[in-house]
Structure 1
Amino acid sequence: MSQQKQCRIWSLSGLSVEDRVLLDSLASLGWAFPAEAECGSMVGLAFVQPKDELRKVMEQLAAHSRMLWIVVCDNNQLSELSRLFSLGIVFDFHHRPVQIELLSATLGHGLGVHKELLQLPEPSTFSHDMTGLYDKARRIAGTDISVVIHGPSGSGKEYLARYIHQHSGRSAAPFVSLNCAGLPANLIQDELFGHEKGAFTGANQAHAGVFEQAKGGTLLLDEIGDLPLELQGNFLQVLQQKSVRRLGSARYVPVDCRIIAASHKKLSDLVSQGGFREDLFYRLNVIHLEVPALAQRRDEVLPLAEYFLEQYAERYGVRKHLSTEARFLLQEYHWPGNIRQLQNVLISAATLSDTSIISGQELNLEHPQTELASPLADQVRLFEQQTILRAVRMNGGCRNKAARQLGISRHTLYRKIRQSD
């Protein structure tokens, strides 16, 4: 069954008549709701009833953390369920009575977001240094060697981890990601190792931890530098024994997943400061990959901007282009938030722009107030030259293709190249 316009249905205590009518309305809009075993979609619609115990709801939805959940509930449940949103377990909420068209749009947006999370820019989009990094990642993808990825927040560490997974022999199995900085210590333990039914008050259902969820696949532990020290020993034991024991269980379950750890903090520095176990560090740090900040990869800014605008066009059917001024500003900006900030800036500008051309002002970038090193004409000329040379390089040195891509004649391109020599 195609994954287009299909979602998984979940309910703790069954569906009300109103909910079944809602599903019929969604079906009339083209949505399908296959059984769990047949459902390839990673978007779910969870119905919460007034009598449901919200702790159970949270446990059940958290146990399927790879799903993008949209919750339908009563208006008076929103405040209590908001914790699910803050923990990243729920993608969005709708309260009864539900507006069908709005819910359908939310489900469609969820599918688009999930598709975007799985898609990677082609390595040809990247600078020379990053292409070399992805070449190295591809070489190690066929092994089960542990990898540590270091780099600033938003620089593309998860993209790199997904690239390793997708080029490995484990690509058909799950890729599971857990942000160790996003959960309290007690929830991290539960997410890592899981629990059995009755392990603690309110544990009415068994819950598989991420080691079990990633069976046969890849487990990314993001921001592992924030993993509490008391849990690092338990984590090391799992790596050594290749098995995990759920809270409340005496049985060990074999672990079969490739471990990738990522952090914006240098783990070697944390070791010297006593914040990270040395034995765990050496266990994980077999291969070390360094992702530089976007400010150090300025050649990537414009290709990535075009990539994000192409994604926007595919999702919303609206194609936007960058003005010369906008391209100049993107290239010169310092990008403290790295690729994630670039993506957000482009999506915001594309959405708010009244025309098909995004102006520099619509990027809403705050540039530091510094004196210009050269007159504006010289800066524009330099930017133009850099853009032309980059287009030639990206087209394998073929100047004819570069001219067509830039929308100028061959004569103009040759003349401008001669001027730059």
Structure 2
Amino acid sequence: MAGDKKILLVEDDPAIAMIIRETLADECAEFAAVATLAERDAWLAENQPDLIITDVVLPDGDGIDSLERAQLAEETPVIILSAQNTLDTAVRAASSGSYDYLPKPFDLAELTASVRSSLRRGRNVQADGAATVVAGDSHGLVGRAPAMQAVYRTIARLASNDLAVLILGESGTGKEVVARAIHSTGLRRKGPFVAINMAAIPRELIEAELFGHEKGAFTGAHSRNAGRFEQAAGGTLFLDEIGDMPLEAQTRLLRVLQTSEYSTVGGNQSLRADVRIIAATHRDMQTHVADGRFREDLFYRLNVIPVTLPPLRERRSDIAALVGHFIENGQASGLPSRQFSAQAMQLLERYDWPGNVRELGNMVQRLVVLSRDMVVSADEVRAVLKDSKEGEATLDPAGQIQRAVDDWARDMLAGTGADGKIHEQLEAIVEAALLRRTLREVGGNQLEAARRLGINRNTLRKRLGQLEIDPSAP
């Protein structure tokens, strides 16, 4: 398979370079690794690679900027690696014409698959048809959790096309922020971004809001009114809470998506729907379709490119960065500058955030305003949360167990007390609690306890002895 393929790696971390070299040993006939842009250019002066793999931050410059200046991606497939892991980096990678972008730490299997794909397709190709896009900021998206990296990469790959997008996620996860980022990095960024919340409009007015109406079309229509499709012409139409759209309106929307034409309510002139459609919902759309509450054919029209946003409780590592982002935004709006103590930040990271990023932003603003000191304390956070256990009430019992294990494991891994026996210790803690509860429920009857637990009675007796549990204890 390797044939006579040549791969050039530009990476200044020797450990990473060694791992990549070993991983790709069977994928090429020649593998060269350099640590700087100057060394890269010297190697390229005498060699023609079939693939370049490059880091972004290098000792003598920016890997992406140098690609664009030298027009390297136009001649050779390029895979970009980066530990910066922001939307801006993903967008810049797409803008450079690179074949692929992998945030660090990357999966070696994914890197190998990307390398094989690029070598098969040869020179002068790009994985997604990169387009020139505008970069330079986070577009309101903050976080480096793996789930957010997947979102960034999808947004970057959407920059070169007009495909319909369906954004899925719980309320407050930032679906409109993502929609605006897709618009501002895409082909229609110079056009308008028009949003409409399908759940906030009375059923009888939805069609008039979407498609506009003519004078006299219905009672109260005293003049012609342009609908959202017309307002968004040349740009993006964001259909928020699409899962709450009435069935009768779904039928007409489907027809517009199929034909790219529509007419105003009360009108007979055909108008062209010149918009990119981005829809969003917090609903389980598969269930909605199965229950007949949402048209299956419309769902597939909208779900061309799905983007799933993680709830904040699944990206707790991003909370500190989000807090800093909200403090900075608050200062721009005239709010005072504040910091959060380590203990205060721990409380924020342990809370389950049923309202997700939106709830965190509101809470940070409240704490910044109410705090009398430069540093927000844990007591102040508790006062706003009312009780640090308040978050537990938002979870079912299984969720509470998962949260407790997460907190316990974090503390153990941060210290030295676990001594390589974390799994064994956790297993003993959980099993002891289960056995004690079961014995209390059955009044100490070991035969009944074993039956309910689904284990052998002798096994139960053995574990009670090993865990030093008195079966007669209350």
Q: TM-score, normalised by structure 1?
A: 0.59
Change in 2 beyond 3 A, CA 1:126/1:267: same
User: Which of 156, 168, 175 is matched with 2:186 structurally?
Assistant: 168
Which structure would you say has the larger RCO, counting Cα contacts within 8 Å and 6 or more residues apart?
1
**Counterpart Cα distance in 2 of 1:185 and 1:207:** 18
Is the Cα–Cα contact under 8 Å of residues 242 and 280 in structure 2 kept in the other structure?
Answer: yes
Q: Determine whether 1:263 maps to 2:293.
A: no
Provide structure 1 residue ranges, at least 5 long, that are not aligned to the other structure: 1-117, 386-421
Change (3 A) 1:187 1:335: same
Q: d(CA) in 1 for partners of 2:327 and 2:243?
A: 33
Q: Which has the larger radius of gyration?
A: 2
- For residue 120 of structure 1, the aligned residue among 135, 139, 151 is 139
Query: Which of 313, 326, 333 does residue 344 from structure 2 map onto?
Result: 326
Matched, 1:367 2:388: yes
Distance 1:150 1:373 in 2: 27
Q: Which residue in the other structure is 2:225 paired with? A: 207
Change (3 A) 1:158 1:383: farther
Contact 1:134 1:160 in 2 (8 A): no
Match of 2:294 in 1: 276
* Displacement of 1:120: 3.0
> 1:158, CA displacement in angstroms?
1.2
Q: Take 2:154 and 2:409, find their aligned partners in 1: how far apart are those partners?
A: 39
Displacement of 1:203 in angstroms is 1.2
Q: Percent identity?
A: 42
**CA displacement at 1:265 relative to structure 2:** 0.9
CA distance in 1, matches of 2:162, 2:210: 20
1:153 aligns with 2:171: yes
Change (3 A) 1:245 1:170: same
Distance 1:323 1:382, change over 3 A: farther
User: Over residues 300-348 of structure 1, what are the superposed CA-to-partner deviations in whole Å (9 max), with x where a residue is unaligned?
Assistant: 1110011000111122152111112211111111111100000010011
The answer as to whether partners of 1:150 and 1:157 remain within 8 angstroms in 2 is: yes
1:289 maps to 2:307 = yes
* Mapped partners of 2:318, 2:337: distance in 1: 21
Q: Which runs of 5+ in 2 are unaligned?
A: 1-136, 393-399, 417-474
For 1:153 and 1:277, the matched residues in 2 are separated by 22
Q: Deviations over 1:50-79 (max 9, x none)?
A: xxxxxxxxxxxxxxxxxxxxxxxxxxxxxx
Classify 1:274/1:373 alpha carbon distance in 2 versus 1 (closer, same or farther; 3 Å): closer
Once the two structures are superposed, residues 87-108 of structure 1 have per-residue CA deviations (whole angstroms, 9 ceiling, x without a partner) of xxxxxxxxxxxxxxxxxxxxxx
**Aligned partners of 1:179, 1:384: CA distance in 2, in Å?**
48
Against the structure 1 CA distance between its residues 257 and 384, is the aligned structure 2 distance closer, same or farther, given a 3 Å change threshold?
Answer: farther
Q: Tell me if the contact between 2:165 and 2:307 (Cα under 8 Å) persists in the aligned partners.
A: yes
TM-score (norm 2): 0.53
Matches of 1:178 and 1:225, distance apart in 2? 13
Using the TM superposition, name which of 226-235 and 152-161 deviates more.
152-161
| RMSD of aligned alpha carbons | 2.7
State the partner residue of 1:243. Answer: 261
Contact 2:147–2:310 (CA<8 Å) still a contact in 1? no
Give the SS at the match of 1:207. Answer: coil
The residue number in structure 1 matching 2:12 is none
Cα distance, 1:377 vs structure 2: 12
Q: 2:329 and 2:344 mapped to 1: Cα distance?
A: 18
Instruction: Encode CA deviations 1:23-82: one digit per residue, 9 max, x unaligned.
Output: xxxxxxxxxxxxxxxxxxxxxxxxxxxxxxxxxxxxxxxxxxxxxxxxxxxxxxxxxxxx
1:125-136 → structure 2 map (5 Å cutoff): 125-136=143-154
Evaluate the alpha carbon distance shift between residue 188 and residue 126 of structure 1 in structure 2; reply closer, same or farther with a 3 A threshold.
Answer: farther
* CA distance, structure 1, for counterparts of residue 293 and residue 219 of structure 2: 32
Give the whole-Å Cα distance in 1 for the aligned partners of 2:404 and 2:246.
48
Q: Distance in 1 between matches of 2:287 and 2:157?
A: 28
Corresponding pairs, count: 266
| Stretch deviating more after TM superposition (364-373 or 125-134) | 364-373
CA contact (8 A) 1:147 1:286 kept: yes
Runs of 4+ in 1 over 4 A off after TM superposition: 369-374, 376-385
Q: List aligned pairs for 1:328-367, cutoff 5 A.
A: 328-363=346-381, 364-365=384-385, 366-367=387-388
